[in-house]
Structure 1
Amino acid sequence: MTTETIKIEGMSCDHCKRAVETALTNLDGVSTANVSLEAGHVTVDFDNNKVAMSHMTEAIEDQGYDVK
């Protein structure tokens, strides 16, 4: 299992938090995703043999947020 912190811009509310966490945990290989609105990032636990960082970035961007 790998843990990465991804910086995200544009999140401001609980809806944003849920949207990003749900988009990530729906990816095969992601076990947890925890957004910190205050810090502007998400911490993701995932199996890097099943999911790539590019897939996670795309899932976040598809929700309307910018990955930095």
Structure 2
Amino acid sequence: DRVTWNHDPMDPWHLAFSPGVGPVEVVVDEEVVWSDGAPTRVDAAEVRAMAAEEAARLHRRLEEL
């Protein structure tokens, strides 16, 4: 597995305490799973839409309590 960061040099200190540090590319088992700030294996917009639907459902249930 390999992670390419947008900050050089990368070490745990910079990862924890430098704002804006994030992965540019993540490769797992020779497959790129994150590229240019977005996942490559799932549709991020679809995941967000499904999460919004479930959040609304949860809040409706909480209001009924």
Interval of TM-score (by shorter of Structure 1 and Structure 2) = under 0.3
TM-score of the two chains, using structure 1 as the length reference = 0.25
Q: Which has the higher contact order (CA 8 A, sep 6+)?
A: 1
Name the structure with the higher helix share: 2
Name the structure with the higher strand share: 1
TM-score of the two chains, using structure 2 as the length reference = 0.26
